[in-house]
A and B are shown apart, each in its own frame.
Chain A
Amino acid sequence: GENVEQHPSTLSVQEGDSAVIKCTYSDSASNYFPWYKQELGKRPQLIIDIRSNVGEKKDQRIAVTLNKTAKHFSLHITETQPEDSAVYFCAARTDKLIFGTGTRLQVFP
């Protein structure tokens, strides 16, 4: 079955710097790759997603890139702000959505 690995597990950056989180997946049939932000005690919230026929997608300060050949995808957050602090999860989908283990991002003022 699908396996999703996510790195790093924790990431600390200064406000205004960029943050990059990377994921790899095992099932080449995966066709949908969302990223979620989860704040403490709350449900995961979709922040951006990409489908397998697209290599890159951007939404304001957030971008996702996909390399199907290497089976990896990345989340890029530019100009980080303290409110970006949360746990971020990547996921990959065939007929079911499998999550990575999460990255705790801390943005220091």
Chain B
Amino acid sequence: NAGVTQTPKFRVLKTGQSMTLLCAQDMNHEYMYWYRQDPGMGLRLIHYSVGEGTTAKGEVPDGYNVSRLKKQNFLLGLESAAPSQTSVYFCASSHPYGYTFGSGTRLTVV
């Protein structure tokens, strides 16, 4: 039982490049979330999903897309990375309470 697994853990992108962050959970949770955390700040919700095949916008969705094709996976995509997207990205899942967080992805856009 791994809980919530995020890949990759670290990544450096050049401005304009694209990438996908993967979040996988093995707890059969219905709800999944993507947050970003900038230095010295709280977690801000990017997108979330209340079940397989559903997605919804959070507080800061611009510049990101998501997909939930399988219940256990929630993908976060950056189509054209910008330096403002440099951050630590956390994925979480819940059922709907009892949130479990992944260990984070540290993304740097240069």
A interface with B by C-beta (< 8 Å): 1, 6, 32, 34, 42-44, 46, 49, 51, 89, 93, 95-102
Contact = CB atoms under 8 A, between A and B. Distances in A.
B29 to A, nearest CB: 13
27 contacts: A1-B59, A6-B42, A32-B96, A32-B97, A34-B99, A42-B103, A43-B90, A43-B102, A43-B103, A44-B43, A44-B101, A93-B97, A95-B50, A96-B45, A96-B56, A96-B58, A97-B33, A97-B45, A97-B92, A97-B94, A98-B45, A98-B59, A99-B35, A99-B42, A101-B41, A101-B42, A102-B42
Contacts of B45: 96-99
B42 A89 contact: yes
A101 B37 CA distance: 10
A63 to B, nearest CB: 19
Which interface residue of B35, B42, B96 has the most chain A CB atoms within 10 A?
B42
B66 to A, nearest CB: 13
Nearest to A43: B101
Interface of chain A, helix or strand or loop or mixed? Answer: strand
Given A96-B48, A97-B94, A98-B59, A46 B99 contact: yes
Nearest to A9: B40
A34 B96 CA distance: 12
Contacts of B44: 99
A76 to B, nearest CB: 20
Nearest to B47: A96
Nearest to A49: B97
A95 to B, nearest CB: 6
A100 B33 contact: no
Contacts of B43: 44, 89, 99
A46 B97 CA distance: 11
B67 to A, nearest CB: 18
A101 B90 CA distance: 16
Contacts of A93: 96-97
A43 B104 contact: yes
